[in-house]
Amino acid sequence: MSIAAIIETRDEGIVTCRPDHSVAEAITLLTGRRIGAMPVVDETGAVEGVFSERDVIRCLQTMGADALNAPVSDAMTSPAVTVGPEMSELEALALMTRRRIRHLPVVDNGRLVDFVSIGDLVKARIDTIEAEANAMRAYIRSA
């Protein structure tokens, strides 16, 4: 299954922040939406990085309390590892495993179109396997 197939049924908006937002503002977005990461985009919709819980911890460890007033651009992971909508779920899972990341911005023509987590990809993979198993059971029953 492609990433495009996974995201085509979504109707939720993508939570993003700008590089000039403060770390405190970004933390408020993360906690308010109960999410672990979000893409950081410029005014054109291009992905400049990803801001995650890990970035918060790393920033607090290096800057102390002053980190909360720092711009997200100082704390985000950049450059972001991105994928296109045509990538398969298995390729994306392999990339996440190799790079030790849990979130991928989906980019088409240089602009953010969605944001997928490892949980999204694992769910899609499980759904595919279950559909194949159900088809196999139905085939066996009909024989």
Q: Where do the domains of the chain lie?
A: 3-142
Q: Up-side HSE of residue 104: CA atoms within 13 Å toward CB?
A: 28
pLDDT of residue 62 exceeding 80: yes
pLDDT of residue 47 exceeding 80: yes
Residues 6+ positions from 124 with CB-CB distance below 8 Å: 1, 5, 6, 89
pTM (predicted TM-score)? 0.85
> Which pLDDT band, with edges at 50, 70 and 90, does 107 fall under?
very high
Token reading at 106: 């989906």
CA angle 12, 127, 95 (to 5 degrees): 75
Place of tokens 């906690």: 31
Place of tokens 């937002």: 21
CATH topology of domain 3-142: CBS-domain (3.10.580)
